[in-house]
Structure 1
Amino acid sequence: MTTDAAVAREWLESWTDVPGLEGLVVKNMNQPYRPAARAWTKIRRRDTTEAIIGAITGTLTRPQLLILGRHDETGRLRTVGRTVALRPDAARQVAEHLAAAGPGHPWEGVRFAAAWGSRDVLDAVLVRPELVAEISADRAVDRGGAFRHPLRFKRLRHDVEARDVAGFGQGPATAVG
């Protein structure tokens, strides 16, 4: 426990390199834990990384969310997460480069959960899995290698090809470029 912001910042940067540690909890010094109460604040470390856009919600001209993937060790495109709603400027940027998926998309017949652990399904539109998105992600990754919390779209990475994106299950890693 510390009251020194510099020490807390150092902990956030160094301790979250350990698998399973997502961030810090901020609370008053004498504040006890209360089950089912949201009295404490969790600060998660966020890093940037890349993922392949494999599907969207909305339309090709007005995408709302991006459904992202990475290739596993066999080369199969696996879902790693989805973004929060795109800002209008980001949606326009992405729409300019989207193309409808042809037959043989690796996610044909796949249903995407609306939220982690949810039974609700997203109405997804498959796209050609060629565009690479730079995303911001926290450190929470499930055992299957997917991000547990929604991702934040940062920009398209025209300088990175889909085949060069980090492999499935590698979690967040600081982006280069």
Structure 2
Amino acid sequence: MAIRDAGDQPAAGIYGLSIETEPMEAKLAKALPSGEGWQYEPKWDGFRCIAFRSDSSVDLRAKSGKPLGRYFPEVVALLADLPTPNFVIDGELVIEVEGKLSFDALQMRLHPAESRVRKLSRETPSRFIAFDMLVDTDGMPILDKELAYRRARLEDFRERIEADPAYLTVSPATKNLREADAWLSRSGGDTDGVVCKRIDEPYRPGERAMMKVKRLRTADCVVGGFRYERDSELVGSLLLGLYNDDGLLDHVGFTSAIADIEKPELTARLESLKGGPGFTGKAPGGPSRWTTDRSSDWKPLRPELVVEVKFDQITGCRFRHGTKLLRWRPDKKPSQCDFRQIGL
């Protein structure tokens, strides 16, 4: 069987659905919504992915719209071998290492060498956790159908294909608030919160039409600039930005939680991006009041890097305190980092 994956030219679309369809996203909420009409699901710690299958053609797309097939050949092969030739499903790519999901293992897949990717795919195979269906097995787009209908078709799909659940499964879901609250209280390992969806709503590509509740408040931010450490040629802090409603990148804070061992390589990476526009909205001023251990000027960058940071409070559309750098997000498009994800 000839399999087309993300290394080939993308198709214009499948079943009238663009191959670059953006996934429906969630906005951050402080608490789980209660009342009738809600479905709750674990928020998995992986790479968001929409998987397209049409006859022998398979395509995996990241949240950013970038192709993922060449980095996850085992998933491409798995989907190509399923007995049903038509479907589009939305879900999460995860990798389990020593019994726990590993985001680092996912990031290691984003490697230019095909031989390296193939080796990792054998040693640490990934799993696709599906949680929505956009095109059913009859090749009919069902985005305009309510979630209850799409979920039923997804579960029917999973029962009929008889795939190994170690590699393809459907995410648990519940309408019971108490059970969802228990998931939230246990999050922090394989999951980092709970996603809340209206069962009577259609699928809304590119919109923050769902809610997500986390134990920790986090945000994905664009690295719009950086400062050197005082009297040093190494990076001291990253300057963080979010896009406002006008499409301008506003400075919202900083993170200086960078391990010393990582600074030389990170400095070289940042310096290769110097000369960009930096912050096109609200820009940083001089040294922050929290610390003076860096130079007063900052270096603008091309807005290409995204990091996830932990924060506590927001005042005046800025992080009130310094943030903790949790991880880099090469799977996320910078333009997706806006104030809506933190409820502003």
Same fold (TM over 0.5): yes
1:124 paired residue among 298, 303, 308: 298
- 1:50–1:134 contact (8 Å) kept in structure 2: yes
Specify every segment of 5 or more residues in structure 2 that has no aligned partner in the other structure, as ranges. 1-28, 32-214
TM-score normalised over the length of structure 1: 0.57
- C-alpha distance in structure 2 between counterparts of 1:104 and 1:81, whole Å: 14
Which structure: larger Rg? 2
Identity %: 28
State the Cα RMSD in Å.
3.2
Residue 72 in 1 paired to residue 244 in 2?
Answer: yes
User: Which consecutive segments of 4 or more residues in structure 1 shift more than 6 A?
Assistant: none
CA contact (8 A) 1:105 1:128 kept: no
The structure with the greater share of residues assigned to strand is: 2
Partner of 1:50: 220
Aligned-partner Cα distance in 2 for 1:91–1:70? 24
Q: Using CA pairs below 8 Å that are at least 6 residues apart, which structure has the higher relative contact order? A: 1
> Residue deviations 1:15-62, cap 9 Å, x none?
x927xxxxxxxxxxxxxxxxxxxxxxxxxx742321000111117x72
Deviations 1:70-120 (A, max 9, x none): 10001000011111342124434533532102368626975245127xxxx
2:178 match: none
Give the residue type in structure 1 aligned to 2:342. G
Corresponding letter in the other structure for 1:84: S
Determine the structure 2 residue equivalent to 1:17: 30
Q: Is the 8 A contact 2:256 2:322 kept in 1?
A: yes
5+ residue gaps, structure 1, are: 1-15, 19-44, 173-177
| Alpha-carbon shift at residue 128 of structure 1 (Å) | 1.3
Secondary structure of the 1:97 match is helix
Check 1:104–1:69 CA distance in 2 against 1; reply closer, same or farther (3 A cut). closer
Contact 2:224 2:278 in 1 (8 A): no
TM-score after normalising by structure 2: 0.31
Aligned to 1:163: 335
Give the Cα separation in 2 of the matches to 1:100 and 1:135: 22
Q: List aligned pairs for 1:38-117, cutoff 5 A.
A: 46-58=216-228, 62-92=234-264, 94-98=266-270, 99-102=273-276, 106=280, 110-115=284-289
Change (3 A) 1:164 1:108: closer
User: Shift of the alpha carbon at 1:125?
Assistant: 1.3
Alpha-carbon distance between aligned partners in 1 of 2:283 and 2:251, rounded to the nearest angstrom: 13
- Aligned residue pairs, count: 124
CA distance in 2, matches of 1:104, 1:47: 25
The residue identity in structure 2 corresponding to 1:141 is I
